[in-house]
Amino acid sequence: MRSPDPSPPEAATPKVAFEGACVTIEDRAILLSTTLTLAERRVAIIGANGSGKSTFARLVNGLIAPTAGRVTVDGLDTVADAAKVRRTVGFVFQNPDNQIVFPMVSEDVAFGLKNVGLAKAEIPARIAAELGRFGIAHLAERASHSLSGGEKQMVALCSVLVMRPRLIVFDEPTTLLDLNNRNRLRAAIAALPQSAIVVTHDLDLIGEFDRVLVIEDGRVAADDAPAAAVPWYVGRAS
Ligand SMILES: Nc1ncnc2c1ncn2[C@@H]1O[C@H](COP(=O)(O)OP(=O)(O)OP(=O)(O)O)[C@@H](O)[C@H]1O
């Protein structure tokens, strides 16, 4: 059986292209026509509640489809080539309860691996390595429902990382976490060899990022380095 391709630390950042992508729901424009290319290792999406950040993020791996225009990842259409795109782009939800579906942690982390045809014998080692990397190997045989919020968030992240996507989209990953777990997750994101697009209200998380998009009323209102985009956003909000 063929193993999924490993993602070496230097794996190239996939190129995400929005080509006139819009999302309109019930006659309301949620995301206005957006054309841009993302190819940086760390991209942040910030903006007010309801501005359209999650909608933007969900377009990247085809969780939602544009109602006009298209989004591609390395040239693959997120709708027509959805399965291939999801091999390249993992998605970590804000609330891990939306992501963790199996009663046992190890089953949850194993799920995707079984689907991509990793040899059964290789799965436990892959899971142990991934959980070990985040210091949570001891949770492998725990019931998922018994985990704390922070533990669940780390397990949800491991379930995505174990698939070795080249790009990970995080939707407000630190919102539900206490200070300790927030710091752990910040460190985990900073250390990831993969590329990341992070939707967040946590402006401290993104100071070292390569690029920040500020979404305002369904459009990209600013697109710059953190040193310029963050003060611009803070100025708009105050
Ligand atoms: N399926 C849907 N049906 C109707 N309205 C929707 C749907 N999905 C999103 N919206 C609306 O689109 C707008 C943008 O939502 P989105 O979740 O993208 O915002 P956000 O910037 O991520 O917000 P937050 O910071 O509060 O999470 C909101 O007003 C939301 O209510």
Nearest Cα residue to atom 23 of ligand 1? 50
Element containing residue 127 per DSSP (H, E): helix 123-133
E strand or H helix at 182, and its extent? helix 179-191
Mean pLDDT calculated for residue range 5-34 = 85
47 CA closest ligand 1 atom index:
21
| Nearest atom, ligand 1, residue 30 CA | 12
pLDDT of residue 1: 36
**18 — phi, psi (to 5°)?**
-95, 125
CATH superfamily of 16-99+165-235: P-loop containing nucleotide triphosphate hydrolases (3.40.50.300)
Give residue-wise pLDDT tens across range 174-214. Answer: 887 888 888 888 888 888 889 999 999 999 899 999 999 99
ipTM: 0.96
224 has pLDDT over 50: yes
Least confident among 29-38, 92-101, 113-122, 219-228: 113-122
Question: What pLDDT shows up at residue 10?
Answer: 53
Cα–Cα distance, 221 to 138 (Å, whole number): 44
Q: Is the pLDDT of residue 115 over 80?
A: no
The Å distance, Cα 136 to ligand 1 centre, comes to 33
Nearest CA owner, ligand 1 atom 5: 25
Q: Is the pTM value of this prediction over 0.95?
A: no
Q: What are the domain boundaries of the chain?
A: 16-99+165-235
Handedness of CA 70, 73, 107, 181 (dihedral sign): negative
